[in-house]
Amino acid sequence: MAFLPHASATAKKVCVIGPECTGKTDLSKFLADYFKTAWVEEYARAYLNKLGKPYTQPDLTKIAHGQLRMEQEWMIGANKALICDTNLIVIKVWSEHKFGNCDEEILEHMHKQKYDLYLLTNIDVPWENDPQREHPDKREHFLEIYRNELAQTGVPIVEISGDREARRKKAIEAVQAILN
């Protein structure tokens, strides 16, 4: 898979990550607007909407390619920070949960990707049904998996909890801290 050069090498990469239905998209969009920068949406959502059938493990590799492409393309226009709604860690976690393993290509690219900050969204918000959400009863389980995965990265992690305003305030402060 070919990658584009990083034209905005000085932009910091922030990834909003966490279990299903924990406000990742809302928070990441808000942060991109607040910091007037590029937002990398979750590629999986559009891909799965068009798929028209249950996803398979090879679909996860295609989703990983799309997510990486979008990150690289949006990095070019990023203003000090690139805000990402998910990354390959999420694809790894889902692959291991659903299929018992993860494609080596996903793992290889996951380890090459560099981020400056992870915002880990907590499960203290109500579940909202969505056809793409699979495990309302396993959010705590996945939160622990994400904590463990992120701890292995060596990248700063800020847990985001509370109501919408508290989450936004904490996230702004965390991003601002890496930009100073």
Q: What is the pLDDT of residues 26-66, one digit of tens each?
A: 999 999 999 999 999 999 989 998 998 989 999 999 999 99
Is 1 a member of any domain? no
Whole-number pLDDT of residue 6: 41
Whole-number pLDDT of residue 134: 62
Residue 136 has pLDDT above 50, yes or no: yes
Reduce the secondary structure of 54-93 to three states and give it as a string: CCCHHHHHHHHHHHHHHHHHHHCCCECEEEEECCHHHHHH
Whole-number pLDDT of residue 169: 98
Whole-number pLDDT of residue 140: 93
Is 4 a member of any domain? no
Is 75 a member of any domain? yes
Residue 8 has pLDDT above 60, yes or no: no
Is 64 a member of any domain? yes
Is 158 a member of any domain? yes
Provide the residue type at 66 as one letter: G
Mean pLDDT, all residues of the chain: 91
Tokens 């559009």 correspond to 46
Q: Are 113 and 65 in contact (CB under 8 A)?
A: no
Q: Bigger pLDDT: 20 or 66?
A: 66
Whole-number pLDDT of residue 9: 56
Q: In what order do the strands lie in the sheet with 39-40?
A: 39-40, 81-85, 12-17, 117-121, 157-160
Residue 139 has pLDDT above 80, yes or no: yes
pLDDT, one tens digit per residue, over 97-114 is: 999 999 999 999 999 999
CA distance 147 to 168: 20
Whole-number pLDDT of residue 133: 59
Is 7 a member of any domain? no
Q: How confident is the model at residue 2 (pLDDT cuts 50, 70, 90)?
A: very low
Q: Is 15 strand, coil or helix?
A: strand
Residue 117 has pLDDT above 50, yes or no: yes
Q: Are 94 and 18 in contact (CB under 8 A)?
A: no
Tokens describing residue 61: 């590799």
Q: Bigger pLDDT: 28 or 132?
A: 28
**Total domain count for the chain?**
1
Q: Are 117 and 158 in contact (CB under 8 A)?
A: yes
Is 3 a member of any domain? no
Report the CATH number that the domain containing residue 170 is assigned in CATH: 3.40.50.300
Whole-number pLDDT of residue 52: 86
CA distance 154 to 44: 26
- List the domain range (segments joined by +) for residue 128: 12-179
Whole-number pLDDT of residue 93: 96
Residue 5 has pLDDT above 50, yes or no: no
Is 28 a member of any domain? yes
Tokens describing residue 64: 């990983």
